[in-house]
Amino acid sequence: MKHLHLLIPDLFPPQDIAAEVCAGLQLPALEKLLARGNAGALPAQTLEDWLCVAFGARAVAPVRAAADGLATDEGYWLCADPVNLQLQRAQMLLLPDVLPSREEAEALCASLNGHFAGTGLRFFAPHPQRWYVRLEADQMMATTPLRRAAWSDAKFHQPQGAEALRWQAIVNEAQMLLHGHAVNQARAERGELAINSLWLWGGGRASQLNKAFDAVGGDCTLGAAFAQVAGVPQSDSLQAMLGGEGESGLWICAAPGEAQQRGDYLAWREAVQRVEQDCALPLLLALRSGRLQGLVLEVPHAESARRFGLTRGSAWKLWRAVPSLARYAV
């Protein structure tokens, strides 16, 4: 592979805790990549938006649904993922990891389809944790990806736009149905989180995707879905990608951003250390040796994204100061 795009969503910690959470981290390779690259600010962009732009998709939902085996050529699709909402003091905490079984997901979706029969809504659960709703008409509504809203106050991430009130009413109906469902009664008896709501996001119609890269890899399930639907081969390891044929590869490290979204900075530190050992160090060595001709390290963020471009020559700019990761706080 001649060129590689390394995507690390939400890598940088918040300014008010950056010094504390980065204390003692040993990240020489990652910090050199950041310091020696040609840095530039980008428009604020989520991981989901980045993937849609890169692959030429109109929306996430039809791509993810197609990767899960649904026929998405017709209709307007929304992700309708099962979640748990908990009222904690003044906030409505959104918990995404409800982990239904396949049988539970199918039973709940069947009940939703029975309840909304004749309304033009059709629910699908091809994967226990990834549900969808299909309808015919386009919806004028902006939504927040579950990844961004999870573990925070759901009230600040509600849909916006002309159709928002209608969908709020639909979700309220779904919540009432789910609350009294036998599946949730059984889950309560077992001490498991109730599946008491749906999180709607990523809506749109299907489109033909671009083969934006010659290979895709990493730990991002959504990135793998885009690659699958676009017909792009997926690499099991970074070393395999670096040794493969092709012009351009994409490697996504989602774990640091996911840990930061949960507020789990012990897990964030561990994830960043894995990025250092498994990605930054081999990529720095590959650049220095000429095995890799170019590297773009991009950090999508909902408020301020950053881009760092490197060549073999960049990797040898030993005179550049190497700030700690905490200096890139957002």
Query: How do residues 56-67 score in pLDDT, each as one tens digit?
Result: 999 999 999 999
Q: Report pLDDT digits (tens) over 153-186.
A: 999 999 999 999 999 999 999 999 999 999 999 9
| pLDDT for residue 324 is more than 80 | yes
Residue 329 — φ and ψ, nearest 5°?
A: -55, 150
Domain edges within the chain: 3-56+210-328, 60-204
Whether pTM exceeds 0.85: yes
Question: Cβ distance 295 to 33 under 8 Å?
Answer: yes
Q: For residues 34-55, give the mean pLDDT.
A: 93
Instruction: Give me the residue label for tokens 């990767």.
Output: 67
What whole-number distance in Å separates Cα of residue 110 and Cα of residue 104?
10
Q: What is the pLDDT of residues 75-90, one digit of tens each?
A: 999 999 999 999 988 8
**Do the beta carbons of residue 72 and residue 206 sit within 8 Å?**
yes
φ/ψ of residue 114, rounded to 5 = -65, -40
Q: What are phi and psi of 152, to 5 degrees?
A: -130, -175
Give the number of other CB atoms < 10 A from CB of residue 14: 10
Of the candidate CATH numbers 2.70.150.10, 3.40.720.10, 3.10.150.10, 3.40.50.300, the domain formed by 3-56+210-328 belongs to 3.40.720.10
pLDDT of residue 171: 97
What H or E segment, with its residue span, contains residue 83?
A: strand 76-88
Q: Identity (one letter) of the amino acid at 233? A: P
Q: What average pLDDT score do residues 90-110 get?
A: 96
At residue 44, the pLDDT reads 85
What's the pLDDT tens digit per position in 114-134? 999 999 999 999 999 999 999
Q: Which pLDDT value is given to residue 119?
A: 96
